[in-house]
Structure 1
Amino acid sequence: MNRVGIGIIGCGNISGAYLKAMTTEFPILDIRGLADLNSELAQSRAAEFGLVARSIDELLSDPQIEIILNLTVPKAHVAVAMQALEAGKHTYSEKPLGINFAEGKKLADSARSKGLRIGAAPDTFFGGGHQTARSLIDQGVIGLPVGGTATFMCPGHERWHPNPAFYYEVGGGPMLDMGPYYITDLVNLLGPVAKVAGFAITPRSERVITSEPRNGERIPVDVPTHVAGVMAFENGAVVQIGMSFDVAGHKHVPLEVYGTEGTLIVPDPNRFGGPVEYLKKGGQFEEQPLTLPYADGNFRSIGVADMAHAIRSDRPHRANGDLALHVLEVMEAFQTASEHGRTIEITTKVQRPAPLSDSLVDGRLAK
């Protein structure tokens, strides 16, 4: 196998999940070093996974590194990705692509001008649960898609995250934090979004951390923390969305898709697997078998592996920059719609990512 060299910048909370999957599931990925502004953090992660801690400059100048995996905080995503592009590297970022559409488009334009690839999480839509739901929709079992609901609501991440302040800074909030999972999966299931309407509110100006080690500390809130809206898709379907850090509890499932002939319950888009339920018109919900791969674990980093395989086989990668930019524009549009009291037209055009019906590697599992 002609492996692809990977350099990782950012060794915070999410890096553990990436590194676990990268080192056990996807042998095409050759991790050549980890870096973080906090060198002790990089060294700790490197020791945990038997890897090497290096400086950011060393990663960017290493000719054997082809992809920079950018796991920094959201407000640093574009700056770090631009550094990678300037160094001649492809780059793949944690979600979101950027903290606003303007900087995301600047990144996409720069990559295009340099002939380099960009990508971004989430890659959970690769999972067997979501690909099963997509296959059922594509087979026409629900008839003509009509609508759906997308719901993430919780009391806030200050309950569990050791350093939650960035969730309430510009670039955070429930829409930019959790919206990428839901909207990306909906584009996978239904295609691109055409129009958005919505309302965004900030009920509290500060939050109190209840997790350790900052228990009791008060942090300011600079972003809307409850967003409700509607997405009109190009295929005609209309989906309601609710994203909140202000809800004590609810009984909505994460994703439902409605059609003229039936309804699908889609797994949590923050997971790769989970039950897919189908109700035929006049019938009852029945769980569907998950026969597609990547449904039985946490495969975070599969998007990077797909990019690596795509580089080697000269094909488009699925979690690509066009998809991430489209999702970013949709998310920002809810705030714009709320501020201006009107429906917002989405300007970016994107193709549904190719289905993952077998594996990343032409009929063979990538392992």
Structure 2
Amino acid sequence: MGPVRVGVVGCGNISAVYFRNLARFELTQVIACADLVPEKAQQAAEQYGIPLVLSTEELIHHPDVDLVLNLTVPKAHGVVSLEAVRAGKHVYSEKPLAVTREEGRAIIEEAARQGVRVGCAPDTFLGAAHQTCRQLVDEGAIGAPVGGAAFMLCHGHESWHPSPEFYYEVGGGPMLDMGPYYLTAMVNLLGPIRSVTGSVRTTFPERVITSQPKAGKVIQVETPTHIAGILEFECGAVGTIITSFDVWASVLPRIELWGTEGSLLVPDPNAFGGTILLRKQDEHDWHEVPVTRPFAGQARGLGVADMV
């Protein structure tokens, strides 16, 4: 059996790392790409040696495409992924899977009917640091989990991203943009979540882009930009998560886990590697734990390879 043949829909900012990494994995081969702006798809094809440049519709229905990698903007994820599974294609989507629960459920139910698989970013939890953290929890390094906290606090992306508008549209915001990294990491470490409660606010109704090439453009904010939640896990642990595009500065850790016998500082879940710190109940200082698992570098696309 040869590699799974991948068609990429969306050749924007995030696509480059996928094109590079999927070429590294023996299990995947990118054979086609598409974008609403055909020139972007053509440029990607030339740069990464992709044989076919197609429209989205052509790519989804092409007989040689086994898996559709959905890298479109968030509000288009549901439409593209649903069409792909209806066409009998496996799908791996950038986060979020969809912008509503109903849309996401429709994708999963249709995939079950078609007998195809659906996967979704993030895949950083498969990386070296977070798999090492999982091993520590499984081995009882902190005892029985009591709780944890995850924080992603910044002032948004309009100061660096070339086209940041979609971050403030429906389907954007800090929870759907960055929250999946933190939620996925916590589920990887603590298991399924039983219940969620939360509150949200939108602090700034408008944002001004300061990055090029759209500096000075005003964005109307359509989605909550500060979200706080309480997570009850099936294992009995209780967690807290805050994601925000409204915070200028913070010294809060990214993720902490607390157990009956110690605490664990988990590295940035937006990366595959990082520094792990552990402090046991009888210790006075934190100490670094060696990372023992593979994929410590930039391995985005690992989830696609793992899925197939």
Query: Shorter-chain TM-score: what band?
Result: over 0.9
The alpha-carbon deviation at position 20 of structure 1 amounts to 1.4
C-alpha separation between the residues in 1 aligned to 2:36 and 2:195? 40
> Following the alignment from structure 1 to structure 2, what is the Cα–Cα distance between the partners of residues 175 and 56?
28
Q: Which aligned pairs between 1:97-112 and structure 2 lie closer than 5 A?
A: 97-112=97-112
Q: Give the strand-richer structure, 1 or 2.
A: 2
Give 1:221's aligned residue.
Answer: 221
* Equivalent-residue separation in structure 2 for 1:42 and 1:134 (angstroms): 38
Equivalence for 2:287:
286
The answer to whether the Cα contact below 8 Å between 2:128 and 2:293 also exists between their aligned partners in 1 is yes
TM normalised by structure 1 equals 0.82
1:233 equivalenced with 2:228 (yes/no): no
Shift, 1:56, TM fit = 2.2
1:42-77, Cα deviation, whole Å (9 max, x unpaired): 111112212232222332232221100000011111
How far apart are the structure 2 equivalents of 1:141 and 1:38? 50
CA deviation after TM superposition for structure 1 residue 82, in Å:
1.3
**Matched residue, 2:256:** 256
Structure 1 gap ranges (5+): 309-367
CA contact (8 A) 2:7 2:65 kept: yes
Q: Is the aligned partner of 1:35 residue 2:34?
A: yes
Partner of 1:321: none
Question: Which amino acid is the alignment partner of residue 27 of structure 2?
Answer: I
8 Å CA contact 2:156, 2:245 repeated in 1: yes
Separation in 2, partners of 1:46, 1:302 = 21
Q: Distance in 2 between matches of 1:256 and 1:17?
A: 28
Distance 1:61 1:229, change over 3 A: closer
The residue aligned with 1:47 is 46
Secondary structure at the counterpart of residue 159 of structure 1 = coil
String of CA shifts for 1:58-102, please: whole Å, max 9, x gaps: 322322211000000111111101111122111110001100111
Relative to the length of structure 2, the TM-score reads 0.97
Number of equivalent positions? 306
Q: Which residue of 2 aligns with 1:181?
A: 181
- Supply the distance in 2 between the matched residues of 1:290 and 1:229 (Cα, whole angstroms): 30
Partners in 2 of 1:83 and 1:64 — Cα distance?
16
Query: Structure 1 residues 235-244 or 50-59, which shifts more?
Result: 50-59
Separation of aligned partners in 2, 1:147 and 1:307: 30
User: What residue in structure 2 maps to residue 61 of structure 1?
Assistant: 61
Q: What one-letter code is carried by the residue in structure 1 that aligns with 2:218?
A: R
Alignment root-mean-square deviation, CA? 1.0
Task: Give the conservation status (yes or no) of the 8 Å contact 2:86–2:111.
Answer: no
User: 2:23 aligns to what SS in structure 1?
Assistant: helix
Matches within 5 A, 1:53-92: 53-92=53-92
Contact persistence 2:254–2:266 (CA under 8 A): yes
TM-superposed deviation, 1:204: 1.2
Amino acid across the alignment from 2:293? L
1:45 alignment partner AA: A
Is the contact made by 2:19 and 2:30 (CA closer than 8 Å) also made in structure 1?
no
- Partner Cα separation in structure 2 for residue 197 and residue 55 of structure 1: 41
Deviation by residue 1:238-289 (Cα, 9 ceiling, x = unmatched)? 1111100010010012111100100111110000000111101131211111
Cα offsets for 1:292-336 (capped at 9, x unmatched): 1011x110001101112xxxxxxxxxxxxxxxxxxxxxxxxxxxx
- Percent sequence identity over matched residues? 51
